[in-house]
């Protein structure tokens, strides 16, 4: 049993951000173990993805290029990765903890009868074992967990690891046949609707959020303007979502998304423990709130006590000036 | 058509959770009930009831693995409108990893028999792994459909659902039986009715053991391949907040922007 395998998530012929982050984590683990990194490039028209994977530092690529893999379906991808893992017996299998990565690794771990760890945000190599740090109890506690025997199947959260950098290396991929013929895949994708409304919360390096204090749907306007100037995403607390001021997909917190941006600006958010669970790993937290006793100030690095409707436009205009926008 | 909803009893979202030096986790909720139906599972329960109301499901069976006290959470499922509830409880199951739990659930679903759809919440708010649905699907040999935001059609041995992906939505059709994990967008869970609560309080919930399910191995702490012994509190953030004060909002903005450039987060 040897080798660190990484499933390289890709879309529209390019490696996704989370795919690149997973490659960098794989590189770190493999270097500590003294093993090689093998990238799994699965999809349709993915020759370019294999080249990109070599450039980002994988030592080998096993690829499968087939129309049945054009869109991710776990019933097509799962049996293929399981078969390849059975033939090659890697010691570690990594994927991003994206919706697809979670499905794939849960499938593969079940079929390999392997230990599975999800949502890693930190890794440390101890002998042959990967110690994985992950939040539990909805981010209220942390755990360091590890697989005790056999292949270690692990998913890693987005933005927890740096993206892999270009190495200028190239290589020749080993191309294999799919495991399941299209006719035998028990599900069909009949529609895809992609939304393009700017930066997604989980990928965003800057998030500007609004809570109860924004007062209504129109109160999100200054929040959006600041996010736009910073090239960031718009977040919200549960209170604002429940009030119907903004769509649920913007919700940050225990029953929303967990985010970890470089900069999180909380506006009119008191900072209930459920909200903190979703954003406490942000690198720098700024709080703008009328209430000087709001719990968010205990978590924040910088705070301004005051009226967000005066402060946000002032901050936006200051950034516009500095960034030349 | 029989539908199973897999649920778990978890700490409430407002519970204060503490951990001692040995990594033993405990919790209390001074303002409310410390243990509840996993909040994500409420969407699964609601969808199961809607399958009965709108798609001719005959039975909606709430299924849970846990201690005897998990019957409280199952009573909530019954009060909401599930037609039956079953607890699977056995000392030998304590400490199972996700795959062990998947084995138990799959065995229980097989014992229930003639089930076409098994619903799950997207994850439990304690372990937070979100992996059990797919692994249970593998143990059943059924198609897993995760992050489902709408059930569009059910009938004639097949199902059409909408899934939420990072970049948008996907419509997918699959052959029954299927395992479905649902997200919050799928519905608005109902509150238990007064009549429902009265009925549930009188319900006798059966408790199945490992022997009842004829499970031979692969469950419990002994079979778990994941070590969960190190659980700890999050170290408090060092330093305290720097409150930016100035005479005008513009001045405060200028100081803050300076600081953020210094921190190199812009």
Q: Give the closest-approach CA distance of B90 to chain A in angstroms.
A: 22
Please tell me the predicted confidence (pLDDT) of residue B182.
97
Q: How many CB atoms lie within 10 A of CB B228?
A: 17
Phi-psi region of A159 (alpha: psi -120 to 50; beta: other; left: phi over 0): left
Most confident of A31-45, A271-285, B18-32: A31-45
- B248's tokens: 């005008």
Domain boundaries, chain A: 4-184, 206-323
A14 pLDDT band, cuts 50/70/90, is very high
Please tell me the predicted confidence (pLDDT) of residue A140.
84
Contact A301 B260 (CB under 8 A): no
Cβ-nearest to A99 among B166, B254, B259: B166
Nearest to A201 by CA among A244, A159, A239, A161: A159
* φ and ψ of A324, to 5 deg: 65, 35
Please tell me the predicted confidence (pLDDT) of residue A193.
86
Cβ-nearest to B225 among A148, A273, A305: A148
Probe site for chain B from A126, A136, A249, A290 (most B CB atoms < 10 A): A136
Q: Which residue of A has its CA nearest to B176?
A: A186
Domain A206-323 has CATH 1.10.580.10: no
DSSP state at residue A257? B
* φ and ψ of A222, to 5 deg: -60, -30
Distance CA B132, CA B103 (A): 9
Tally A–B CB contacts below 8 A: 237
B 74-103 residues inside an 8 A Cβ radius of A:
97-99, 102
A9 pLDDT band, cuts 50/70/90, is very high
B42 Cβ under 8 Å from any chain A Cβ: no
Q: Does residue B61 register a pLDDT over 70?
A: yes
Distance CA B160, CA A184 (A): 18
Please tell me the predicted confidence (pLDDT) of residue A100.
97
B203 pLDDT band, cuts 50/70/90, is very high
A170 Cβ under 8 Å from any chain B Cβ: no
Q: Percentage of chain A with pLDDT > 70?
A: 99
Lowest mean pLDDT among A233-242, B17-26, B223-232: B17-26
B21 Cβ under 8 Å from any chain A Cβ: no
Q: Which residue of B has its CA nearest to A18?
A: B166
Q: Give the closest-approach CA distance of A92 to chain B in angstroms.
A: 14
**pLDDT tens track for A110-127:** 999 999 999 999 999 999
Q: Which one of 3.30.390.10, 3.90.660.20, 3.40.50.150, 3.40.50.620 gives the CATH number of domain A4-184? A: 3.40.50.620
- A79's tokens: 């049996």
Q: State chain A's mean pLDDT as an integer.
A: 95
Please tell me the predicted confidence (pLDDT) of residue A196.
60
ipTM of the complex: 0.94
Average of pLDDT values for A14-41? Answer: 97
Q: Which residues of A touch B145 (CB under 8 A)?
A: 187
Instruction: Give the residue, A255 or B144, on which the prediction is more confident.
Output: B144
**Angle at CA of residue A26, ends B145 and A36, nearest 5°:** 120
Contact A254 B102 (CB under 8 A): no
Length of chain A in terms of residues written: 325
Q: Which residues of B touch A283 (CB under 8 A)?
A: 263, 265
Kind and range of the H or E element at B65?
A: strand B59-65
A90 pLDDT band, cuts 50/70/90, is very high
CB A110 within 8 A of CB B98: no
Q: Strand pairing of A206-210 and A233-236? A: parallel
Q: Give the closest-approach CA distance of A147 to chain B in angstroms.
A: 4
Q: Give the closest-approach CA distance of A192 to chain B in angstroms.
A: 4
Q: Which residue of A has its CA nearest to B229?
A: A145
Longest alpha-carbon distance in chain B: 74
Please tell me the predicted confidence (pLDDT) of residue A138.
81
Contact A114 B225 (CB under 8 A): yes
Nearest to B42 by CA among B117, B118, B124, B121: B121
- In sequence order, what E strands does A16-114 have? 37-43, 60-65, 92-96
Q: Does residue A301 register a pLDDT over 80?
A: yes
Examine domains A4-184 and A206-323 and report if their fold is the same: yes
Contact A311 B253 (CB under 8 A): yes
Q: Give the closest-approach CA distance of B203 to chain A in angstroms.
A: 30
C-alpha separations of B185 from A197, B10, B46, B173 in Å: 18, 21, 12, 19
Domain B2-223: CATH class, spelled out? alpha beta
Average of pLDDT values for A179-206? Answer: 87
Q: Give the closest-approach CA distance of B244 to chain A in angstroms.
A: 5
A197 pLDDT band, cuts 50/70/90, is low
Cβ within 8 Å of residue A89, ≥6 positions away: A1, A2, A3, A151
Cβ-nearest to B165 among A99, A280, A317: A99
Probe site for chain B from A318, A319, A320, A325 (most B CB atoms < 10 A): A318
**pLDDT tens track for B238-247:** 778 999 999 9
A10 Cβ under 8 Å from any chain B Cβ: no
A137 Cβ under 8 Å from any chain B Cβ: yes
Contact A99 B239 (CB under 8 A): no
Contact B173 A148 (CB under 8 A): no
**pLDDT tens track for A137-164:** 888 899 999 999 999 999 999 999 999 9
B195 Cβ under 8 Å from any chain A Cβ: no
A199 pLDDT band, cuts 50/70/90, is confident
B256 Cβ under 8 Å from any chain A Cβ: yes
């Amino acid at each position: 049993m040897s080798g660190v395998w990484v499933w390289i998530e890709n879309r529209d012929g390019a490696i996704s951000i989370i795919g690149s982050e997973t490659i960098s984590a794989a590189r770190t683990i493999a270097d500590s173990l003294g093993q090689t990194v093998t990238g799994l490039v699965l999809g349709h028209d993915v020759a370019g993805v294999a080249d990109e994977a070599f450039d980002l530092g994988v030592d080998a690529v096993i690829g499968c290029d087939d129309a049945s893999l054009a869109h991710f379906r776990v019933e097509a991808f799962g049996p293929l990765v399981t078969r390849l893992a059975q033939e090659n017996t890697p010691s570690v299998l990594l994927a991003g903890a994206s919706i697809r990565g979670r499905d794939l690794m849960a499938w593969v771990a079940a079929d390999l009868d392997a230990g599975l760890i999800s949502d890693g945000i930190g890794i440390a190599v101890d002998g042959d074992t990967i110690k994985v740090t992950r939040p539990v109890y909805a981010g209220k506690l942390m755990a360091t967990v590890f697989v005790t025997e056999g292949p270690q199947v692990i998913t890693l959260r987005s933005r927890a690891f740096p993206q892999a950098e270009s190495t200028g290396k190239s290589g020749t991929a080993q191309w294999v046949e799919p495991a399941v013929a299209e006719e035998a895949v028990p599900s069909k994708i009949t529609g895809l609707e992609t939304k393009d409304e700017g930066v997604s919360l989980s990928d965003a390096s800057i998030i500007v959020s609004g809570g109860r204090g924004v007062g209504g749907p129109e109160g999100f306007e200054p929040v959006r303007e600041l996010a736009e100037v910073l090239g960031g995403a718009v977040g919200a607390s549960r209170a604002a979502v429940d009030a119907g001021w903004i769509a649920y997909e913007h919700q940050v917190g225990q029953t929303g998304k967990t985010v970890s941006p470089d900069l999180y600006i909380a506006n009119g958010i008191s900072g209930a423990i459920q909200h903190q669970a979703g954003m406490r790993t942000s690198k720098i937290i700024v709080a703008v709130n009328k209430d000087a006793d709001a719990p968010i100030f205990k978590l924040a690095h910088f705070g301004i006590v005051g009226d967000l409707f005066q402060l946000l436009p002032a901050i936006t205009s200051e950034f516009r000036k500095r960034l030349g926008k | 058509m029989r539908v199973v909803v897999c649920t778990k009893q978890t700490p409430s979202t407002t519970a204060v959770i503490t951990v001692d030096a040995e990594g033993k986790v405990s919790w209390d909720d001074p303002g409310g009930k410390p243990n509840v139906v996993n909040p994500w599972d409420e969407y699964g329960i609601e969808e199961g009831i809607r399958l009965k109301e709108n798609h001719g499901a005959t039975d909606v069976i709430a299924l849970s693995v846990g201690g005897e006290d998990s019957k409280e959470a199952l009573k909530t499922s019954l009060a909401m409108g599930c037609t039956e509830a079953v607890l699977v409880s056995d000392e030998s199951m304590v400490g199972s990893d996700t795959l062990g739990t998947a084995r138990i659930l799959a065995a229980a679903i097989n014992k229930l028999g003639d089930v076409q759809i098994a619903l799950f919440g997207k994850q439990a708010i304690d372990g937070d792994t979100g992996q059990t649905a797919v692994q249970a699907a593998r143990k059943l040999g059924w198609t897993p459909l995760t992050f489902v935001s709408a059930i569009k059609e059910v009938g004639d041995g097949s199902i059409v659902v909408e899934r939420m992906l990072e970049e948008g939505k996907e419509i997918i059709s699959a052959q029954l039986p299927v395992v479905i994990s649902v997200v919050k967008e799928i519905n608005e869970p109902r509150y238990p009715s007064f009549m429902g609560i009265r009925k549930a309080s009188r319900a006798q919930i059966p408790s199945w053991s490992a022997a009842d399910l004829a499970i031979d191995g692969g469950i419990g702490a002994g079979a778990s391949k994941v070590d969960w012994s190190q659980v700890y509190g999050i170290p408090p953030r060092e330093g305290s907040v720097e409150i930016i004060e100035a005479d005008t909002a513009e001045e405060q903005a200028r100081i803050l922007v300076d600081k953020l450039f210094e921190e190199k987060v812009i």
